[in-house]
Structure 1
Amino acid sequence: MQTRFVLLQTSHAGNVGAAARALKVMGFDDLVLVAPRWPDVLTREETVQRASGATDVLAKARIVATLDEALDGITYLCATAMTPRDFGPPTFTPRAHFPAIADAGHRVAFLFGSERFGMSNEDVYRCHAALTIPTDPGYGSLNLAAAIQVIAYEWRMALGGFAAARAGQAQPRADAQAVSGMLAHWERALVDIGFLDPASPKKLMPRLNQMFNRAQLTPEEIHILRGVAKAMSEAGAKLKR
């Protein structure tokens, strides 16, 4: 099953190397960095040292400019946002939530925020679920690499460990880029028919994002929804004539 670990605006090179090591010991190697502090972070001395031999993961890792690029092909997003948001996806512990994702046959991405600022609300709103790691209430601070290690371990166990492989028969899911493009199309259409005021959008689009995430759309359903958006825009244009 495709599994990707995405690090957003990482500021410490050593954490990238430690993340690569954490992934390798759990049998994962799809690491993507979004706008890291250091453009050469994958080859910096501190990174390589902290990887402790996981140089193949570093060699395969990619650096991209935007989160959209990092999510190509992904159908289910998990935010590792330890601080609850006032609005957003439901929050689960990894052990409670992972079996259901594994059984659904998704292409999964785990998103980790920057060491200094964590994840932005906008990025969390895009996700299907927020993950919280149970820690001592008096001290819940986890190093980035430690958090990645816990998530990677729990996900590997949900996949059956190293002794089992799952063969899912689930329908293919639309990837995150397709959902994002469809939402942008809907936003334009809702403005065209006068339903959405771009000067005061409130939380309409994040709420629609969450609704469509729960629906677990297929590529065919994305195509249908884009057709609906196109029809709405055409109807709006006729009304304005």
Structure 2
Amino acid sequence: MSTRFVLIQPSHAGNVGAAARALKVMGFDDLVLVKPRWDDVLARDETIERASGAGDVLGKARAVDTLDEALEGMTHVCATVMTARDFGPPTATPREHLGPLAAGGAQRVAFLFGSERYGMRNEDVYRCHAALRIPVSPDYGSLNLAAAIQVIAYEWRMALGGFDAPPPASPAAADAAAVAGMLRHWEQALVEVGFLDPAAPKKLMPRLQQLFNRAQPTPEEIHILRGVAKAMSEAARKAKP
């Protein structure tokens, strides 16, 4: 399975280096930063020192401006949260979710980690298929970003069967960027047919996001759904006097 670790707005260079080290130890090397605090964070001295020999992971890592860019090609997205949310994807421990995920077949999986200062925004969590909560002491639940990445990387490696697992088959599900693009297309069409009030959208689009996350549509199905949205828009325009 293809695996990517995404850090959203990381604010400490040392954590980026420590994240690279955590990934290399567990055999992963796809690290993407979304709007890091420092433009040159991947080359800063503190980053390189904390990477402690994982310079190849830093060399391959990249910084992007949007979460859409970071999730390009990914088909299953996991948020990391400190507490369960009242709304959004189901919350589970890493071991509860990752074992069945690995056993279910080929996926391109992304793990999202929020800013050290603010955590993950609700709108980013809503895009995910699952929210992972690492069990911690109720008396002290503050987990460093790099430590959280190490725990998730370890649990995912173990779920994949350690370092002796056979390579997976090619994935079939559409990637997260394709689903996001389709949802934007549907949002526009739903406004045009009068089903969605942009002034009071409530949680319609996040609920549709969760529906399609569960459905895991293929690229062909995404094409069909975009065709439906296009037809709705065209019908609405023709109906206007």
Fold agreement, TM-score > 0.5: yes
Query: What is the alpha-carbon distance in structure 1 between the residues aligned to residue 99 and residue 179 of structure 2?
Result: 24
Q: Please state if 1:30 is matched with 2:45.
A: no
Contact persistence 1:159–1:166 (CA under 8 A): no
Query: What is the alpha-carbon distance in structure 2 between the residues aligned to residue 61 and residue 112 of structure 1?
Result: 15
Once the two structures are superposed, residues 3-47 of structure 1 have per-residue CA deviations (whole angstroms, 9 ceiling, x without a partner) of: 000000000000000000000000000000000000000010100
Query: What is the alpha-carbon distance in structure 1 between the residues aligned to residue 35 and residue 23 of structure 2?
Result: 20
Query: What is the alpha-carbon distance in structure 1 between the residues aligned to residue 13 and residue 167 of structure 2?
Result: 34
- CA offset at residue 166 of structure 1? 4.0
Q: Which residue of 1 aligns with 2:154?
A: 153
Query: What is the alpha-carbon distance in structure 2 between the residues aligned to residue 151 and residue 44 of structure 1?
Result: 25
Q: Which residue of 2 aligns with 1:165?
A: 166
Q: Which runs of 5+ in 1 are unaligned?
A: none
Query: What is the alpha-carbon distance in structure 2 between the residues aligned to residue 125 and residue 61 of structure 1?
Result: 25
Q: Which residue of 1 aligns with 2:184?
A: 184
Query: What is the alpha-carbon distance in structure 2 between the residues aligned to residue 63 and residue 77 of structure 1?
Result: 18
Q: Please state if 1:208 is matched with 2:208.
A: yes
Query: What is the alpha-carbon distance in structure 2 between the residues aligned to residue 163 and residue 177 of structure 1?
Result: 31
Give 1:118's aligned amino acid.
G
Q: Which residue of 1 aligns with 2:99?
A: 99
SS of equivalent residue, structure 2 residue 73: coil
Q: Please state if 1:141 is matched with 2:131.
A: no
Query: What is the alpha-carbon distance in structure 2 between the residues aligned to residue 165 and residue 98 of structure 1?
Result: 17
Q: Please state if 1:7 is matched with 2:7.
A: yes
Query: What is the alpha-carbon distance in structure 1 between the residues aligned to residue 229 and residue 105 of structure 2?
Result: 28
SS of equivalent residue, structure 2 residue 32: strand
Give 1:165's aligned amino acid.
P
Moved more, 60-69 or 77-86: 77-86
- CA offset at residue 81 of structure 1? 1.3
Query: What is the alpha-carbon distance in structure 2 between the residues aligned to residue 35 and residue 83 of structure 1?
Result: 24
Q: Which runs of 5+ in 2 are unaligned?
A: none
Query: What is the alpha-carbon distance in structure 2 between the residues aligned to residue 231 and residue 65 of structure 1?
Result: 32
- 1:58-69 correspondence runs (5 A): 58-69=58-69
Contact persistence 2:105–2:168 (CA under 8 A): no
SS of equivalent residue, structure 1 residue 104: coil
- 1:59-98 correspondence runs (5 A): 59-98=59-98
SS of equivalent residue, structure 2 residue 6: strand
RMSD between aligned residues: 1.0
Moved more, 140-149 or 94-103: 94-103
Q: Which residue of 2 aligns with 1:223?
A: 223
- CA offset at residue 163 of structure 1? 1.6
Give 2:207's aligned amino acid.
R
Moved more, 194-203 or 160-169: 160-169
Query: What is the alpha-carbon distance in structure 2 between the residues aligned to residue 208 and residue 97 of structure 1?
Result: 22
Contact persistence 1:74–1:175 (CA under 8 A): yes
Aligned length: 240
4+ long deviations beyond 4 Å: none
- CA offset at residue 101 of structure 1? 1.6
Query: What is the alpha-carbon distance in structure 2 between the residues aligned to residue 229 and residue 236 of structure 1?
Result: 11
Contact persistence 1:159–1:165 (CA under 8 A): no
Query: What is the alpha-carbon distance in structure 2 between the residues aligned to residue 111 and residue 133 of structure 1?
Result: 13
Query: What is the alpha-carbon distance in structure 1 between the residues aligned to residue 128 and residue 220 of structure 2?
Result: 21
- CA offset at residue 60 of structure 1? 0.3
